[in-house]
Amino acid sequence: MTAPNRLPDRLLPLQAAILEQINAHHIDVPMLPEVAGKVVRLTQDVDSDASELATLIQSDQTLAAHVMRIANSALYSPNSSLVSLQQASARLGMKLISEIALAASINSSLFNTPGYEEHIQYEIRCSLMTGLWAKEIARVSRRNVEAAFITGLLHAIGRPIAVQTALKVAAESNTTLDTAEVLALEDKFQRQIGVQVVEQWEMPRLVVDVVRFFDCYNDAGAARNQTMIAIAAEAFTHHFMSEQGDNNCISREELVSQVVLAELNLYRDEVLELLEKQDLVKSAMEAMTA
């Protein structure tokens, strides 16, 4: 799907209303019903494997982040900042994590994006793949692998929520939006919403900075390398997931020549070696989205 370059003037009031929602911190973070259902089933199954649950939670950026947010709440982790599901499980125990996941899936509202379900699904898959590629890029660069996954996974957390918010505000103001306009609104507000979401979830500063400076990594200070990893990972995702003709489609040669990879000091042969991890990433994707 492709967004137009410019939004029509008739949508100015709508944009102002979305901004108001952002500034008033009235953005909902829903969860996917499918995964939520799986979590419920898994936690009620006495024979279920705890690692299965962790994998499942990790497969969904919104659920994973939701679990992290609750795990980081004062109730469960006073004075602490949990940054990964692994850490959360080590610290709180899997039983509690299951309960948190269950509570999260029961108490969260669902995405309400009529007509855009496929688009949202695609974006969530892209985010998961970005997280997985970020891990591999971080591994090669000897950077923070753990942070790479979560920053890759959450770098575009604002997108589905921006679509939902745009549709909600449009409905409230009786404004009709076509697909291109919805996508343009998503593009316009996703970064602001994303930053706000990770800030509200009290994610570590590094995660917040990666989301905030994703479009300008040179301003990211200490988070520069981690931001570049997430950007590079997104490029890998665009190469493997975008279809010919999409705006985001990146050919193999374009991918290898990405400036951000050179900035990470990854030589061409190292990038080609990374590309060989395609099957590994694909398998992980399948495992997490099965």
Partner 1 sequence: MSNNNQYDMLIVGSGPAGQKAALHAAQSGSRVALIEKTRELGGSCVHRGTIPSKTLRENALRVKNMRMNAELANFELPEDVELATLINRLNDVLLAHDTYMRRQLERSSVELIHGRARFISSTEIEVITVAGEKFSLTGECIVIACGSHPHHPDNIAIDHEHLFDSDSVLSMMYLPKSLIVLGGGVIASEYASIFQALGVEVTMIDKYPLPLGFLDSDLTETFVNGFKHMGGTWLGETVVTRAYWNGFDAVIAETEDGRQIKGEKLLCAAGRIANVKELGIENANLKLNDRGLISVDENLQTNILGIYAAGDVIGPPSLASASMEQGRRAACNALDMPPGIMHNIIPTGIYSIPELSSVGLSETQAREQYGRVLVGVARFDEIARGQISGIQNGMLKIVCDPAGKKVLGVMIVGEGATELIHIGQMALLSDARVDLFVESIFNFPTLAEAYRAAALDIVHQRKKL
Whole-angstrom distance, CA of residue 153 vs CA of residue 12 = 31
Please count the other Cβ atoms lying within 10 Å of the Cβ belonging to residue 55: 15
Residue closer to partner 1 by CB (options 106, 272) is: 272
54 binds partner 1, rule: CB under 8 A:
yes
Residue closer to partner 1 by CB (options 100, 147) is: 147
Tokens at residue 79, please?
A: 């004075």
Whole-angstrom distance, CA of residue 159 vs CA of residue 155 = 9
202 half-sphere exposure, CB direction, 13 A CA radius: 14
Tokens at residue 245, please?
A: 């003709």
Please count the other Cβ atoms lying within 10 Å of the Cβ belonging to residue 154: 27
278 binds partner 1, rule: CB under 8 A:
no
From candidates 2, 23, 44, 81, binder to partner 1 by CB under 8 A: 81
The least distance separating partner 1 from the CB of residue 139, rounded to whole angstroms, comes to 5
Give burial (CB, 10 Å; 0-12/13-18/19+) of 79: exposed
59 binds partner 1, rule: CB under 8 A:
no
Taking contact as CB under 8 A, which single stretch among the options 34-42, 100-108, 142-150, 175-183 is the one that binds partner 1? 142-150
Whole-angstrom distance, CA of residue 31 vs CA of residue 83 = 19
Residue closer to partner 1 by CB (options 14, 100) is: 100
Per-residue CA distances from 104 to 29, 35, 65, 108, 214 (Å): 11, 11, 10, 6, 28
Taking contact as CB under 8 A, which single stretch among the options 62-70, 125-133, 141-149, 276-284 is the one that binds partner 1? 141-149
Residue closer to partner 1 by CB (options 170, 284) is: 284
Q: Which of 232, 168, 157, 217 is nearest to 190 (CA)?
A: 157
User: Quick one: residue 112, left, alpha or beta (phi over 0 = left, psi -120 to 50 = alpha)?
Assistant: beta
Residue closer to partner 1 by CB (options 28, 146) is: 146
Taking contact as CB under 8 A, which single stretch among the options 61-69, 101-109, 176-184, 260-268 is the one that binds partner 1? 260-268
Site for partner 1 in 169-208 (CB under 8 A): 204-206
| Residues in Cβ contact with 163 at an 8 Å cutoff, skipping those fewer than 6 apart | 113, 116, 119, 120, 182, 185, 186
94 binds partner 1, rule: CB under 8 A:
yes
Taking contact as CB under 8 A, which single stretch among the options 49-57, 59-67, 174-182, 281-289 is the one that binds partner 1? 49-57
Residue closer to partner 1 by CB (options 42, 167) is: 42
142 binds partner 1, rule: CB under 8 A:
yes
83 binds partner 1, rule: CB under 8 A:
yes
From candidates 146, 187, 199, 202, binder to partner 1 by CB under 8 A: 146
DSSP category for residue 84:
S
From candidates 266, 274, 281, 284, binder to partner 1 by CB under 8 A: 266
286 binds partner 1, rule: CB under 8 A:
no
Whole-angstrom distance, CA of residue 121 vs CA of residue 116 = 9
221 binds partner 1, rule: CB under 8 A:
yes
Return residues touching partner 1 (CB under 8 A): 50-51, 54, 77, 79-84, 86-87, 89-91, 94, 135, 138-139, 142-147, 204-206, 221-222, 257, 262-263, 265-268
